[in-house]
Amino acid sequence: MIVRTLKECEASGRRVVSDNWESTRLSLAEDGMGFSFHITTIYAGTETEICYANHFETVYCISGNGEVETIADGKKYKIEPGTVYILDKHDRHYLRGGTEDMVVACAFNPPLNGREVHDENGVYPLDGEALAS
């Protein structure tokens, strides 16, 4: 059994900070679970273009607000506590922080290795070759 606290992970190399978001990776590929699980904060008023070409992701909003927009059809979805969105088709999308920081729980399959950040196409690399410093 593996037991960790969010606070422990935030103080370790499992916390990754970017311009628009920060993410604490509670479980990773090295844990052998077949998925990774993260608590991520999307900063208020930001917009990030994302396309997980190598991963599927499920996102559940814990607090705050924002929206996700699928680029292919321009559909916008309000995100607030209790909302889940599932990227089951490698959807290219915009993720926008709303009027306050949005805290979400995310699960990735296949799992992340830990230090990944989005590349120039909004993609996480499959095997972690582009890692945050």
The answer to whether domain 15-107 has CATH 2.60.120.10 is: yes
Q: Please, what sign has the CA dihedral across residues 53, 54, 58, 62?
A: negative
Beta pairing partners, 109 = 56
Query: What are the φ and ψ backbone dihedral angles of 29, each rounded to 5 degrees?
Result: -50, -40
Beta strands in 7-131 (DSSP E): 15-17, 21-27, 36-42, 47-50, 56-63, 66-70, 76-79, 84-87, 93-97, 102-109
Q: Where are the domains of the chain?
A: 15-107
pTM of the shown model: 0.87
Q: Which long-range contacts (CB under 8 A, 24 or more apart) does 76-80 make?
A: 79/104
Q: Could you read off the pLDDT of 25-82 as tens digits, one per residue? A: 999 999 999 999 999 999 999 999 998 888 899 999 999 999 999 999 999 999 999 9
